[in-house]
Amino acid sequence: MMENLRHRSRRLRYSPSVRNLAREGQVTPADLIAPLFVFEGEGPPQPVPSLPGVSRFSLPNLLEEIKELQQLGIPGIALFPCLPAERKDPLGKEALNPETLVLRTIRAIKKTFPTMAVFTDIALDPYTTHGHDGLLNADNTDVENDRTVEVLSKMAVLHAEAGVDMVAPSDMMDGRVAAIRQALDAAGHTKTGILAYSAKFASSFYGPFRDAVGSRQAGNAPPINKQTYQADPANRRAAIQDALLDEKEGADILMVKPAGPYLDVLTELRQNTRLPLAAYQVSGEYAMLQAAAEKGWLELKSARNESLLAIKRAGADMILTYFAKNYAKEY
């Protein structure tokens, strides 16, 4: 028999009530931001095959979805447009159309649900025929940084004018946070915040999202290579440096994307900033859990909850996740 064992960790685990009292953190619906996809025109929701349970919505149906999310206690949505092919071109000109889909959607949401926090993506990939986040150079081999930043700054001002709460530059161009902050302030939008995709990695986990917004290369074309601007998955220190540069340039919230494979980056960033931190549980993370559950290899609810708790424990104040609605329903 074990004697003089003063510290028994299991004393805090025997009782459900004591476990709850001793729990260091939890994920609540108030911690979640729901990514939503909107398409042009009318019609029923369009299921995304590679994202089971996720659909694109027409504007009327999107408003109904947001009503339900708000009733469930989810405080924010991240909005992504899915445009028809005829609205796209190599320069992404539709992004600067004052009546483009996302701007009309922002206005409708804020009119109907003024307290719902709306975050909008600032990047050109939904608008370009090539699927890159910015403008290509003359020989189409790379994205030009400074020309892209000029367009993104104009795009951010249009979103602010439509009433968005925070713009979310996801392009990973150098200097874009400072340029966007300057453009917003110059246009009088000092209250519009910036949620910066600060440590966004050139990940293999984005495929289902690209299906949802229609930016994936067609047919048997190879995946779009964004390694010249998105962060190298091997580099933790460089990702932290990128994020802290965004803080200096005026970001209000910093984000790590993807979340699950980069919890070490999230934790280290939490130790180096006092800004709120977001983490994006991306489409590939969601789809893997769904696929494994469909195979009977894991129990979806418990695996989902554990994955979200891990992101929260690592340092995230808020989590963008496709599980938001179902999690809140079962909370």
* Per-residue b or e along 84-97, where b marks 16 or more CB atoms closer than 10 Å to that residue's CB: eeebbeebbebbee
How many angstroms separate the CA atoms of 172 and 296, rounded? 38
Answer whether 237's CB lies under 8 Å from 208's CB: no
Which of 86, 168, 91 lies closest to 125, judged by CA?
91
Integer Cα distance of 213 and 79 in angstroms: 11
Q: Which of 88, 257, 312, 325 is catalytic?
A: 257
Measured CA distances, 184 to 22, 104, 250, 316 (Å): 44, 19, 11, 26
Q: Is the dihedral of CA 84, 227, 48, 217 positive or negative?
A: positive
Candidate list 88, 200, 226, 325, residue with the active-site label: 200
The values of phi and psi at residue 309, to 5°, are -65, -40
d(CA 184, CA 152) in angstroms, rounded, equals 11
Question: What residues have CB less than 8 Å from 288, skipping those under 6 apart?
Answer: none
Active site residue 93: no
In 3D, which of 280, 236, 276 has the Cα closest to residue 254? 276
| Side-chain half-sphere exposure of 320, counting CA atoms within 13 A | 28
Q: Is 312 a catalytic residue?
A: no
d(CA 214, CA 322): 17
DSSP label at residue 119: E
**Residue in 6, 53, 86, 124 with CA at minimum distance from that of residue 291:** 53
Catalytic residues: 200, 257
